[in-house]
């Protein structure tokens, strides 16, 4: 499996998890995790994996996600699951916006 296939597989996996847990960028929201889409897009342009965002910003949502994941029957939810789901939601929104 090459890098592009791995990226696609990763994004699909966490997109499905986000949908299952109903974690999404709210339709009318101007911000997500206290940043506008423009701010997220600028960060994405510098690093397509958003590794330029402190992990602590994603970690703050772990407790709520742990509860939701448990309610959905997902066991073993981790900090990295929260980070990956949130980054995927953000990146999907950026890419969706680019398509118009």
In this predicted model, what pLDDT tens digit does every residue of 11-61 receive, in sequence order?
Answer: 999 999 999 999 999 988 999 999 999 999 999 999 999 999 999 999 999
| pLDDT for res 76 | 93
| pLDDT for res 85 | 97
The answer to whether 6 and 12 have CB atoms below 8 angstroms apart is: no
Per-residue pLDDT at 100 exceeds 80: no
Global confidence as pTM: 0.93
């Amino acid at each position: 499996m090459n890098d592009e296939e791995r990226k696609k597989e990763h994004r699909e996996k966490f997109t499905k998890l986000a949908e299952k847990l109903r974690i999404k960028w709210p339709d009318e929201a101007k911000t997500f995790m206290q940043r506008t889409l423009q701010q997220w897009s600028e960060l994405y342009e510098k690093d397509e994996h958003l590794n330029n965002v402190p992990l602590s910003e994603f970690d703050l949502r772990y407790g709520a996600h742990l509860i939701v994941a448990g309610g959905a029957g997902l066991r073993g939810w981790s900090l990295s699951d929260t980070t990956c789901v949130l980054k995927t939601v953000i990146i999907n929104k950026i890419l969706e916006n680019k398509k118009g």
